[in-house]
Amino acid sequence: MTSLERVLTTLSHREPDRVPLFLMLTMHGAKELGLTIREYFSKAEQVVEGQLRLRARYGHDCLCPFFYAALEVEAWGGEVVFREDGPANSGEPIIKKPEQILELVPPGIGDAAGLGKVLRAIEMLKSRVGDEVPIIGVAISPFSLPVMQMGFGPYLELMHERPDLFERLMRVNEVFSANWANAQLDAGATAICYFDPVSSTTIIPRDRFLRTGFQVARRTLQRIHGPTAIHLASGRCVPILEDLIELGPAVIGVGPLEDLGTVKAACRGRVAVLGNLNGVEMCRWSPQQAETVVQETLAKAASGGGFILSDGHGEIPFQVTEDVLMAVAGAARRWGTYPREP
């Protein structure tokens, strides 16, 4: 089977030849090319080469041309702060006073140089791999994007104290997020991962999610012209699992704090599950520990298809070593074959 065939079989809740493995290696391409993280993301061609080299090395089943989350707020005029050993972060908020929301206009996708680099990377990857490997695009949800646009504290205050401006911000962000997701699909992405950590019950209670993030997701996902996965980026999903399923994604990403067996049982035959290796702990694993954890994870969720082995956050830390990644990949191939032993 090709990687795409393996994934499509899994998403149809049947058993392929083995469990698909998604290694969400965004920054590790810099190591492959001997570049700093900032240098690596400066050119689409370098990200393409990094992604192809990483897949050749580890044999996983996806390509992830995601650069960094702050790229999206950069499109609105925000700054990006780079680190030597981790993902780039957003700098000073672009919304310093709530009243500025009234003046916000969604930036054009074609007007943002950073977004253009991602689209070029997707186009080049598509030309290289065709329909052999899924190419995963990423869009930060309109409900979570304000954490970078205005800061966490001010955003939570806005949500509770200024519902009028909150609603205005959501509507503007929804246009941008849907346009950005569709541009990636048009460039050749197979599916869009809708990252929405603020919707997790780790951050807000379910009743508020149903009034806010759920409504935003429903409107936005309806505007995206392709398959989607919902990922709460390590946040808890079990209390809102039925609500997430109602939104109609093909996949739900599960964080390492959840009981994977419980989630798989609830999702079986309805939506595929992706997860949930602990990326932080992975930084300290030995190759032997990696194999043991992969075995245990597969035992909880692999049976019957509908499961993609991956980390539970959506991005593997830069500090995870090649030896551990190789052990994860090897264990996935060794212990993830179908049919499963009873």
Q: In the structure, what pLDDT confidence band is assigned to residue 342 with cuts at 50, 70 and 90?
A: low
> In this structure, is residue 340 part of a structural domain?
no
Q: Give the model's confidence band at 340: pLDDT under 50 very low, under 70 low, under 90 confident, else very high.
A: confident
d(CA 285, CA 244): 32
| Cis peptide bond upstream of 163, omega within 30 | no
Quick check: is 341 in a domain? no
Average pLDDT along the chain:
97
- Burial of residue 101 (CB within 10 Å: 0-12, 13-18, 19+) is buried
The answer to whether residue 80 is domain-embedded is yes
- Whether 342 maps to a domain, the answer reads no
> For residue 83, with 0-12 CB atoms within 10 Å meaning exposed, 13-18 middle and 19 or more buried, which class applies?
middle
pLDDT digits (tens, 9 = 90+) for 243-291: 999 999 999 999 999 999 999 999 999 999 999 999 999 999 999 999 9
User: CATH number for the domain including 134?
Assistant: 3.20.20.210
Domain with 263, as residue range(s), is 3-335
* 230 lies in some domain: yes
Strand, helix or coil for residue 337: strand
Is 246 within the bounds of a domain? yes
Mean pLDDT confidence for 313-331:
97
**Neighbouring-strand partners of residue 252:** 230, 273
Closest residue by Cα to residue 23 from 304, 279, 291 = 279
**pLDDT for 111-141, tens place per residue?**
999 999 999 999 999 999 999 999 999 999 9
Q: Structure pTM?
A: 0.96
Q: Can you tell me the mean pLDDT for 67-85?
A: 95
Q: Using DSSP, state whether 137 is helix, strand or coil.
A: strand
Q: What's the rounded Cα separation, in Å, for the pair 342 and 339? A: 9
Q: Is residue 301 part of a domain?
A: yes
Place of tokens 């849907």: 178
DSSP strand E in 227-300: where?
A: 228-231, 251-254, 272-277
The reply to whether 213 falls in a domain is: yes
For the chain, how many structural domains are there in total?
1
